[in-house]
Every structure is written in structure tokens, then in C-alpha cells.
Amino acid sequence: MKGPLDGLRVLDMGWVMVGPVTGRYLADLGADVVKLESSRRVDPLRTLGPFKDGKPGLERSISYHNLNAGKRSLTVDIKDSRGREAILRLVEWADVLIESFSPGVLDDLDLAYPVLKARNPALIVASTSLLGQTGPHARGTSGVGTMGASMSGASLLLGWPGHAPCGTYGPWTDAIAPRFIVPSILAALHRRRATGEGCHIDVAQAEAGIQFLSPAWYQYAANGTVMERRGHAGSPLRVPHGIFRCAGQDRWIALDGSDEAAWQALRTIVGGPLLDSKFDTLIGRLRGRQELENAISAWTISQQADELERSLQSAGVPAHVVSNSNDLAHDPDLLDAHYCHIDDPIVGDAIVEGPRYRLGRTPERATRRGPRIGEHTQEILRDLCGYDAAAIDELKAAGVLV
């Protein structure tokens, strides 16, 4: 069996993260994904690290490979009328078009959904931007996922009570939005198989972020309580439940000894103050939380986090190192079955991430490298757009293929 989306044709006009990640999901599932690029206005992701061996270069960004693995790249000047026509030929070829321009840009290029639909009525167009295409603030709001995180309520929730919020690590909604765009596309494809109907899908990245925080919304809407940042990693209703400092610089272990079996196991290994009878009951542990957490910290502080993870797990206590970039790079599970080697003519051997699921019968494609800028322009124009060699030469000479 081939990939579940084998034969699906996708024109990926996104850049940086949300659009490209959406396209990569489809590529992993077997779709033929053509990424539109420009060497004049380079995808900013190509200028963002990490770079292989720390050496910057437009073809050296491992992030670019990670989000664009398995795609083909086409460079066409979309503002030129001949370039626009080439894009419209791809629109006829495509089943799905992904775009993440600032709202209004496609209208200015006369490539808004009605124009695309006229060329291909069955086309599924997914548009994504920070606040979507509609609403009083949609136009004029463009930028990066840290802004999406701010407007989804996430940034305020990270930090310490009484201190300024720390905000999310990076553009959080860039990771969340594709999780709502891809299901929307796949559901629209399911309907299209039955009815032939295309559609326009519009996902606001900040609204996607709100979905992951929906319990906080319900708490406000039903109880009138605005959830606040609390600093402490664990739940106030569970104990011991949180993170504890280990030996070394900025090393921490997360442990969850809150259910009865885990608590008994933890108590046995740590011993000492944890054996006190006041910790026999949950209520006793809640009331003695500070003392209990101090005792666990005193026990973890001299230990190596990764060894502690293994010993707690073998005793039956849910625990894991609070993984940092180095832990992830050396994690046995990830080395075993998540990281994939790619072989790229410019960066050589490099590691990107594989898919985040396992399909038993229709395995995802082997993870491939991302394309170089415009690497497949000629073959795409010839094979997908139907231009002959002379026409391609003409476009090239006119400076449209940059």
C-alpha cells in the first residue's frame, strides 16, 4: 500500500512555518507538494537557524529542511503577469492550495479564492494568517507566531505570580495552527471524494491557539475566573507533582507521585522524611506540600537527572528529565525512531524530524530533504504547467523565474 494521500497534488504558497508545516504533513502522507518560492524575497525560514555546523547560508537551514522535507521548489515572480499565469496553471493542476500571505495580498495579485475557483472549482484552498481573513482587526495584523501566542491567551500564562510574564518559547501558534488546518483539509478532501466540491478554509492562528487553552476559556466563561500564570509546574490538586532540581546546571526532573501506587513507590525509594505518618493520606500530603517537596528536592539535588529518571521509572514512579536541546539530541527513543537522516548536496548528512504518528498499513514516506531554492522550476513548468522548452526559456529570459 502506498501513502494515504498518494496522488494528491498540493501547491504550497506558505512561508516560514504554518503553511510549510501544513504542506509537510501532506507530503509525509504521500502528496506531491510544490512549494512556491522566490529568490528575491527568500523564505525567512532559510535565514533562521539552526544551520548545519552553525554556518549560516540560505541552503544550510536545518529548520527549512525540517518543515519542507520532501517538497519540490519552484521560483516564479508571482507579481509578473506571466508568472501569475504559470501559477494559475498550477492551480488547475492542484487539488489543494495552501497560502499564508498577509490578508489582502492575494486580492492585490488578483488571486483571491473566487479567481482560483473559476480556474479549478474542485480546488481546496487553505488560507492562514494570525487573525484570519475576516473581522475588524484581520487586515493590518500580520507578523509572527509570538503575536498569535499573545492574542490566544498563552503568553500571559507562562511566568510567576507577581512577576511580568515570560511568554511562550518562540512562535507557539505556529506549532498549533497546522493541527487545525490539516484536519480541515483532510475533511474537505473526504467530502470532495463524495461530492466533487472544493472550498475555501480560513484558519486564524490565534484562534487555533485558543483551542489548546479551552479549559481556561470555560473557566472564565462559566466561573468568571481569569486563569493566571502560576509558576509551579504541577497541579495544585496533586502532590507530589512537579519538577525538582537535580545535580548540574539547570537540570530538572519531572515526577508524578500523586496517585496511590506511584506515591507508595516513591516513598519507598526516597525514604527518610517521606515515611512520616503525616504523609500517609492525600490530605496530609496536600497540607504538608512544602515540606514534602523540600524533602524530595533535598533527595534529587545531588543526583544525575537521567539516572534518576531510569531508577524512578523502574520503581514505578512516572518521571522524566525536563528535556533540553541536548537531552532530545541523545534521547534513546528519538534516536531509535524519530530522527531521520537526510543527505543533502550542500549540507551533507543532516538530521530532521520524522512524522509524529505511525500508520500500520499505509506507512508514511521515508523522510527526504527539503529542496534548494527553485531546484525543480524547470520540471514543474514542463510537466505540471505544460510549457515547452522555448516557453520556459522565454520566461527565464524575461526574469520571471526568480
Partner 1 sequence: MLHDIRVIELSGPETMMAGRILGDLGADVIVVEPPGGAAGRRLDPFLDDTPGLDRSLTWHALNRGKRGITLDLGKADGRALLAELGRSAALVLETADRKATAPRADVAFPTSTVRCRITPFLSTGPKRDYFASDLIVTAATGVPGITGTPERPPLFYPVPQAMMEAGAEAAIASLAALSARDVDGLGQDIEVPARLAGMMSALSVPIVVPANNPELQRTPARQRLAGVALPGIFACKDGFVLVSFAFGQAFGRLTQRLMQWAVEQNCLEARLGAVDWSTAPQQAEKGSLTAEDMRATVDAIATLCLRHTKDEFGAEARKRGLLAAPLMDMRDIGQSPQYRERGLWSSPVTVGAEGCTVDDPARFAQFSNYTIDVRRPAPTLSQHTAEILKTDLGLSSAEVQALFVHGII
Residues known to be catalytic? 174
Instruction: Provide the minimum distance between the beta carbon of 92 and partner 1 in the complex, in angstroms, as a whole number.
Output: 19
- For 119, the 3-state DSSP assignment is helix
Instruction: Provide the minimum distance between the beta carbon of 85 and partner 1 in the complex, in angstroms, as a whole number.
Output: 24
Can you read off the three cell numbers belonging to residue 176? 498549533
- For 281, the 3-state DSSP assignment is coil
Q: What is the pairing mode between strands 124-129 and 199-204?
A: parallel
Gap between the Cα atoms of 334 and 157, Å rounded:
29
Which residues on adjacent β-strands are paired with residue 136? none
Gap between the Cα atoms of 130 and 202, Å rounded:
11
Instruction: Provide the minimum distance between the beta carbon of 361 and partner 1 in the complex, in angstroms, as a whole number.
Output: 4
Contacts of 195 (CB under 8 A, 6+ apart): none
Q: Strand locations in 14-165, DSSP E? A: 32-37, 72-75, 96-99, 124-129
Gap between the Cα atoms of 240 and 215, Å rounded:
23
Instruction: Indicate the residue among 299 and 387 with the shorter CB distance to partner 1.
Output: 299
Instruction: Indicate the residue among 135 and 271 with the shorter CB distance to partner 1.
Output: 135
Instruction: Provide the minimum distance between the beta carbon of 107 and partner 1 in the complex, in angstroms, as a whole number.
Output: 15
CA distances from 120 to 5, 76, 302, 340 (A): 20, 20, 65, 36
Instruction: Indicate the residue among 276 and 327 with the shorter CB distance to partner 1.
Output: 327
CA neighbor of 315 nearest in space, from 251, 264, 365: 264
Instruction: Indicate the residue among 164 and 390 with the shorter CB distance to partner 1.
Output: 164
DSSP 8-state symbol, 61: B
Burial class (CB in 10 A: 0-12, 13-18, 19+), 183: exposed
Gap between the Cα atoms of 26 and 33, Å rounded:
8
CA distances from 93 to 30, 78, 82, 123, 153 (A): 16, 17, 17, 9, 40
Instruction: Indicate the residue among 128 and 376 with the shorter CB distance to partner 1.
Output: 128
Instruction: Indicate the residue among 108 and 160 with the shorter CB distance to partner 1.
Output: 160
Instruction: Provide the minimum distance between the beta carbon of 387 and partner 1 in the complex, in angstroms, as a whole number.
Output: 30
Instruction: Provide the minimum distance between the beta carbon of 242 and partner 1 in the complex, in angstroms, as a whole number.
Output: 8
Instruction: Provide the minimum distance between the beta carbon of 274 and partner 1 in the complex, in angstroms, as a whole number.
Output: 18
| Crossing angle between the packed helical segments 145-152 and 205-212, to the nearest 10 degrees | 50
Instruction: Indicate the residue among 251 and 376 with the shorter CB distance to partner 1.
Output: 251
For residue 395, the one-letter residue type is L
Can you read off the three cell numbers belonging to residue 320? 522524566
